[in-house]
Amino acid sequence: MNIDEFLPSGIQLSYLVAASLFILGLKKLGSPATARQGNQSAAIGMLLAVVATMLDRQVLSYEVILIGIAIGSAIGAIAAYKVEMTAMPQMVGIFNGLGGAASALVAIAEFWRVLNAGEFLSVTSLVTILLGILIGGITLTGSFVAFAKLQGIMPGAPIQFPLQQVFNAIILIGFLAGSGYFLFVPGNLPVFFGLVGVSLLLGILFVIPIGGGDMPVVISLLNSYSGLAAAAAGFVVNNNMLIIAGALVGASGIILTNVMCKGMNRSLANVLFAAFGSEAAASGSSAAGQSLGTMKSIDSEEGAMMLGYARSIAIVPGYGMAVAQAQHAVRELADQLESMGVEVKYAIHPVAGRMPGHMNVLLAEANVPYTQLYDMEDINPQFDQTDVALVIGANDVVNPAARHDKGSPIYGMPILEVDKAKHTIVIKRGMGTGFSGVQNELFFQDKTMMLFGSAKDVVAQLAAEVKQL
């Protein structure tokens, strides 16, 4: 067997090994102890797949490819080391967009190559090319709008205009009609570029009516799309490796999207089309502005006494804690309490951060061991044996109204049941309501104490006071 015969099989076998490394890598990513190793095996799989592809007979010149890889690696590496952990959702958003763009470009470039080579374009080829462009284009512009909303470049509030759904439907029908025409006249370039433009427009239209607080769902969904775009590109260039990897990512994105939706007790359709967060106040018995009694406010000295003499406490961090950059102060307070024999646990709600699992990463960055982090299902049965629940910058996810108030917009959302703890201390910047615009009845309960101030300052004061006990 000479080298020309061996090469194609060799490349396919390398792909098989690379695909196995991806699957093993994702499996190992499922446990904190092996996760890092898993990520590395996936990276090795990718390297192997890239090297094998370079040996393909279709690749005749290397300069362009190597320059592209060098530029991409440099930018990627700088971005990976510079990014703040609080900005991870934006980073993943941008990367999704780039992946989608690459897949769409592959589809366009392949179309151009085949067209100019005068080869025959079958209907199946054309359909896969159009799919690649559509999914890739939506992923690209959708991700950039999501990035702009998360980064604060664009207002987070949903952007709506009259007859929006009708307009979107017309655009989509236009795309389908254009595609139908294109299948019969594939050489028509204005129609082709029109279809590319419409794909990009659809991505923008899809994300602008969704509120900033729902961006985690959008990011997860676009993560799935970036995988599907890669799989579509795989159909275009007839490459199994792209299809396998794309399908794996597509599946993982859908699962994470589902997790986020369940955490907010909303359907995906509701997140995508309901423009949540556009109306400030909600009807129902606990609408904003309506008083539910009086709040009891304490100072940090009293707070420190309650914490220091407790046997067990549960810290409930919300995104407010991350915004105030209070993670390190929280960990110091927890250390202090632990050295006094208090049992400290962290209760993490599935939508506590700005993307699935975000809060865990932020706490890990502050050196909180992951064995102290408890998921909602694990910690909820333990609250009635907890002396003090310390809520820092969280609001809707601890509102007991979600359990019983059918008129509340957050009714049915799974919550952390901190009201079952013996006492609750809530650290909060002011009297305002949470993302949903609902007043929180937890704050008015007899055993709830409010500690007003910036999370970082208040927690630092608590730690200082605890030290003096």
Partner 1 sequence: MSGATLITCLFVFVLSSFVGFELINKVPPTLHTPLMSGANAISGIAVLGAILVSGSEDLTLSVILGFVAVVLATINVVGGFLVTDRMLLMFKKKEVKA
- 295-334 residues near partner 1, rule: CB under 8 A: none
The one among 14, 86, 125, 395 contacting partner 1 by CB under 8 A: 125
Segment lying near partner 1 (by CB under 8 A), choices 122-130, 190-198, 268-276, 458-466? 122-130
DSSP secondary structure code for residue 411 in this structure: T
Segment lying near partner 1 (by CB under 8 A), choices 74-82, 274-282, 290-298, 302-310? 74-82
Tokens of 65: 């490819």
Using CB under 8 A as the binding rule, the residues of this chain from 208 to 237 that contact partner 1 are 219-220, 223, 226-227, 229-231, 233-237
Catalytic residue among 335, 396, 405, 419: 396
14 binds partner 1, rule: CB under 8 A? no
Using CA atoms, how far apart are residues 453 and 303, in angstroms rounded to an integer?
13
Whichever of 11 and 426 has its CB closer to partner 1, that residue is 11
Quote the least distance from Cβ 367 to partner 1, whole Å: 6
Tokens of 361: 């990463």
Measuring CA to CA, which residue among 433, 391, 432, 450 is closest to residue 415?
391
At CA 451, angle to CA 286 and CA 88, rounded to 5? 80
The one among 158, 213, 253, 414 contacting partner 1 by CB under 8 A: 253
Buried b or exposed e, range 369-404, using 16+ CB within 10 angstroms: eeeebbebeebbebbeebbbbbbbbbbbbbbbbbee
Using CB under 8 A as the binding rule, the residues of this chain from 346 to 385 that contact partner 1 are 348, 350, 353, 355-358, 360-361, 364-365, 367, 369-371, 373, 375
Quote the least distance from Cβ 22 to partner 1, whole Å: 6
Using CA atoms, how far apart are residues 381 and 390, in angstroms rounded to an integer?
17
Using CA atoms, how far apart are residues 124 and 132, in angstroms rounded to an integer?
12
The one among 238, 267, 278, 339 contacting partner 1 by CB under 8 A: 238
Phi/psi region, residue 70 (left: phi>0; alpha: psi -120 to 50; beta: rest), is alpha
The one among 7, 17, 83, 172 contacting partner 1 by CB under 8 A: 83
Tokens of 283: 């009807």
Using CA of residue 344, residue 345, residue 347, residue 352, what is the dihedral sign? positive
The verdict on whether 396 is a catalytic residue reads: yes
247 binds partner 1, rule: CB under 8 A? yes
Tokens of 411: 């009714």
CB 132 within 8 A of CB 106: yes
Whichever of 17 and 259 has its CB closer to partner 1, that residue is 259
Whichever of 8 and 293 has its CB closer to partner 1, that residue is 8
35 binds partner 1, rule: CB under 8 A? yes
The one among 10, 36, 152, 173 contacting partner 1 by CB under 8 A: 36
Whichever of 141 and 360 has its CB closer to partner 1, that residue is 360
Whichever of 27 and 311 has its CB closer to partner 1, that residue is 27
Provide DSSP, 4-48. Answer: HHHHHHHHHHHHHHHHHHHHHHHHHTTSTTTHHHHHHHHHHHHHH
Residue numbers annotated as active site: 396
